[in-house]
Structure 1
Amino acid sequence: MTAPLPLSFAKILVCQLRQIGDVLLATPSVELLRRRYPEAEIHFFTEKKCAPMLANNPHLAKVFALDKKELSSLRKELAYYRSVAREGYDLVVDFQQLPRIRWVVAFSRARVRLSYDAPWYTRWLYTHSVPMRGGYAAMSKASVLAPLGIEWNGERPRIYLSKVERAWAAHFFQQHGIGDGHTVVTIDPTHRRATRRWPVGHWAGLIDLAAEARPDLRFVVLVGPGEEEVAAELKARVRHGGNLVVPARLLSLRELAAVIDAAALHAGNCSAPRHIAVAVDTPSLTVLGSTSDAWTFPAAEHEAVKACLDCQPCNENVCPKGTDECLTGLSPTTVAERLLERLP
């Protein structure tokens, strides 16, 4: 039997190490915790690569950005986890149950250590746990907070951009010849998993079809570290090169978010930029392969398009049929029609 929950907490730690999109999907829970405990000091434990998603968040007093490169030994790791735990939390919320988080939970000695149902061998770490609800991913995370009397009511992920960051995006557009007469669409043609990556040739076909229908369109390509070749291939395949903008350098996560914020629409695969679009109130169109609809924010301005095969969603990283037909069979014409319908 779990212990009764205290009525208030002075210091709260929220734990979600990765990935970038998942950290962003935890921000509604941070907002809900702030609303439930307005006087509490809320901290967040994540990985360094994900920390930019939490910058300027008014609900957070502190972000621990774990840099795995600096933790070169078990001794250094344990010392770091102890330093986080020594903050004196009385509530720790674990959304991921990774080993690094478990160390912090164990060292924290918090009165309440809350998570989703854990396997038997780590169940002792948590004072309270609940089954995680299915559905939209941010809602599923927030369902862990049910023992605190907290419910998700449509709160969306949030990125808090500064005036300087928005001004940078306007300057970026100017540098790349994008003016008031253009309509900007950001494009994310990448994903590390083949079953979630619409073919580059299909993205090129989509851009050409849309550009022929709307010459005012400018497509800004967004890629991450190690994905530069995808942008180069897309540029080589597109016939209407004047409608395509490939940044001269990799954008930081905050810069990428500012560009999406300034766009009329974001289109891409099921990866972090689609969640960034939700977080900055930019409509989105996502091509789904093996992924389920659980990652799609439930609102009309955020649409997922898929081939609607009987095998979807399989949620596999390798196509069980060996064909990737849920992606290769989804034509650029179909997606272009949906994209054009969503544009102002």
Structure 2
Amino acid sequence: MIIKPGAIGDVLLSTPVIENMRYHFPDAEINFLTQSYCREALEGNPYLNRVLTYDIGKGDSSYCLIRNIHNQKYDLILDLFGNPRTAIIVFNSDARYRVGFRFKWRALAYNIKVKPRGSEIHNIEFNLDAVRALGLEVISNKPKFYLNGVHKEFADEFFKKNDLQGKQVIGFNPSGTWPTKVWNEEKWAELGKMFSKDSRILLFWGYDKEKELAERIKQAIGESAILIPEVNLKYMAALIKKCRLFVTNDTGPMHAAWISGANTAAIFGPTNSNLQGPQSKNSLVIKNESLSCLGCNLTQLSECPNEHKCMNGLSSDAVYGKLLAFMKLNKH
């Protein structure tokens, strides 16, 4: 069993571990434990037998989870997260081989301990260090996110219904879980107006508050902007793939976009893009290069001593210029 509770992007970046384990153990039952909201990131993965989920928000108790995992009698568990909850689950699993990272007291849960290199290497390689700790060769480091024909048909029909076929469509994802990772609403609107001269703007959202933000930006941009309907991550990715370019904050949909092969431009600030950013050839990271505090990992605006300059100091003109240059190099 492989464990990575969240978030969506982190789960997607852990998928190479699944493929590598299937390569080395072709006949094994390989399951993945994650939180319920991350299930979509793994559904349809041909290298998995089952996706096991739990939901802290709905009261799933640690005791029940520990008992259920123990009763399944795994031979090998790889904990790719290493927080107190997952460490306790692994420690009580009765698995013969327990692989995990050497994080303080949590290291006691594992009998195969991995040196954490999260500040040195990309998160994909961080996860794959668990495979290397078993003495296994890494045969692939490419994350996977699987869509099917139903998702493609939905996206085709949406583009047809909204008269988007044959037009240049730019996708915007202006939301994000952490406020420090979100570029300014006004600048999204300014960027949309710049593109609206020769493009349609497709605004993405996932939750109600994100929809409210998208609607305000749509109103500011004007008639050239439309919102996607309420859809899950796979349908969202199918729509993203049809866009000429997907511009996004550092979020789960960003990872779904570049992993799916879409032209992706990601705006980064407090997160170190060298450790967490997109890795495809047709992806671009945009950040305020004038700052020395990039990659601070702060998640709340109140914690920032520099007035959130990583986002506030990134102008729409500068972003637009970078996007035009990127689009010239990357055809649809």
- Give the structure-1-normalised TM-score: 0.87
Q: Among residues 170, 179, 185, which one is paired with 1:194 in the alignment? A: 179
RMSD: 1.9
Tell me the residue number matched to 1:297: 278
Tell me the residue number matched to 1:334: 318
Q: Among residues 208, 233, 254, which one is paired with 2:216 in the alignment? A: 233
The alpha carbon displacement at 1:321 in A equals 2.3
The alpha carbon displacement at 1:295 in A equals 1.3
Tell me, yes or no, if the aligned pair for 2:177 and 2:251 is still in contact at 8 Å: no
Question: For residues 54 and 168 of structure 2, what CA distance do their matches in structure 1 show?
Answer: 39
Q: Among residues 211, 233, 240, which one is paired with 1:253 in the alignment? A: 233
The alpha carbon displacement at 1:152 in A equals 5.0
Tell me, yes or no, if the aligned pair for 2:261 and 2:280 is still in contact at 8 Å: no
Question: For residues 255 and 51 of structure 1, what CA distance do their matches in structure 2 show?
Answer: 14
- Percent identical residues: 27
Tell me the residue number matched to 1:145: 131
Alignment of 1:155-166 (within 5 A): 155-166=141-152
Question: For residues 151 and 142 of structure 1, what CA distance do their matches in structure 2 show?
Answer: 10
Question: For residues 156 and 277 of structure 1, what CA distance do their matches in structure 2 show?
Answer: 14
Question: For residues 320 and 285 of structure 2, what CA distance do their matches in structure 1 show?
Answer: 13
Tell me the residue number matched to 1:311: 293
Q: Please, which runs of 5 or more residues in structure 2 have no aligned partner?
A: none
Q: Among residues 198, 202, 213, which one is paired with 1:220 in the alignment? A: 202
Tell me, yes or no, if the aligned pair for 1:187 and 1:220 is still in contact at 8 Å: yes
Q: Among residues 93, 108, 114, which one is paired with 2:99 in the alignment? A: 114
CA deviation vs aligned residue, 1:256-310 (integer Å, no higher than 9, x gap)? 1221233232111111111001221112111111111111233431110111112
Tell me, yes or no, if the aligned pair for 1:210 and 1:340 is still in contact at 8 Å: no
CA deviation vs aligned residue, 1:129-149 (integer Å, no higher than 9, x gap)? 111222221121112221223
Question: For residues 83 and 112 of structure 1, what CA distance do their matches in structure 2 show?
Answer: 18
Tell me the residue number matched to 2:264: 284
Tell me the residue number matched to 2:32: 44
Question: For residues 33 and 219 of structure 2, what CA distance do their matches in structure 1 show?
Answer: 41
After superposition, the Cα gap between the structure-2 partners of 1:153 and 1:230, relative to the gap in structure 1 and judged at 3 Å, is farther
Alignment of 1:74-223 (within 5 A): 74=61, 77-119=62-104, 121-133=105-117, 134-150=120-136, 155-179=141-165, 181-212=166-197, 215=198, 217-223=199-205
Tell me, yes or no, if the aligned pair for 1:131 and 1:144 is still in contact at 8 Å: no
Tell me the residue number matched to 1:10: none
Tell me, yes or no, if the aligned pair for 1:64 and 1:84 is still in contact at 8 Å: no
Tell me, yes or no, if the aligned pair for 1:21 and 1:271 is still in contact at 8 Å: yes
Q: Among residues 11, 31, 34, which one is paired with 2:19 in the alignment? A: 31
Tell me the residue number matched to 2:9: 21
Out of 294-303 and 268-277, give the one that drifted further: 294-303
Tell me, yes or no, if the aligned pair for 1:157 and 1:278 is still in contact at 8 Å: no
Number of equivalenced pairs: 321
Tell me, yes or no, if the aligned pair for 1:118 and 1:129 is still in contact at 8 Å: no
Question: For residues 64 and 76 of structure 2, what CA distance do their matches in structure 1 show?
Answer: 21
Question: For residues 269 and 122 of structure 1, what CA distance do their matches in structure 2 show?
Answer: 32
Tell me, yes or no, if the aligned pair for 2:171 and 2:245 is still in contact at 8 Å: yes
Corresponding residue SS for 1:186 = strand
Question: For residues 320 and 255 of structure 2, what CA distance do their matches in structure 1 show?
Answer: 21
The alpha carbon displacement at 1:322 in A equals 4.3
Q: Please, which runs of 5 or more residues in structure 1 have no aligned partner?
A: 1-12
- Give the structure-2-normalised TM-score: 0.90
1:267 counterpart letter in structure 2: V
Corresponding residue SS for 2:265 = strand
The alpha carbon displacement at 1:337 in A equals 1.6
